[in-house]
Amino acid sequence: MSKRNELYKCSESGQIVEVLVGGECGVAGMEHVVENTTDAATEKHVPVVEKIEGGYRVTVGEVEHPMTEAHSILWIELVTNNNEVLRKYLEPTDRPVAEFKT
C-alpha cells in the first residue's frame, strides 16, 4: 500500500514519482525510495535546516554537497507541520540551498 508523499523510482527508466493519494494501486517495477538509507557521507547528504526571518533555509550537507553533472541533488523539499510540501528543483550548477517562506 502506497502512502502520500512516498517516492518511487522506476527500475528501467530511472523516473521518480511521488504519491499524491495513497492506496492499493500496484507499483510493479517501481522501487520505494526511502530517505537517508544510502551509505553516503553524512556530512554532505543530511539536510541542515535553519530558521530565518519569514521562513527556513535548507542546505544539503553540513559540508555543502558538491554539485556536478555526474552527481547532484535534484530537489530540496520541506514538509510543514500542516503537511504543506514546499519544493525547490535544482540544476547541477546550483548550490544545494533553498529558502522557503512560511
pLDDT (tens digit, 9 = 90+) per residue, 32-85?
A: 888 766 666 677 888 999 999 999 999 999 999 999 999 999 999 999 999 899
pLDDT (tens digit, 9 = 90+) per residue, 81-99?
A: 998 999 999 999 999 999 9
- CA distance readout (Å), 62 to 89, 98, 101: 20, 14, 22
pTM for the whole structure: 0.81
pLDDT of residue 24: 78
pLDDT of residue 56: 97
- E runs forming strands in the chain: 7-10, 16-18, 30-33, 47-52, 55-60, 75-79, 85-89, 97-101
pLDDT of residue 100: 98
- What domains are defined for the chain? 1-34 (2.20.28), 38-102 (2.60.40.730)
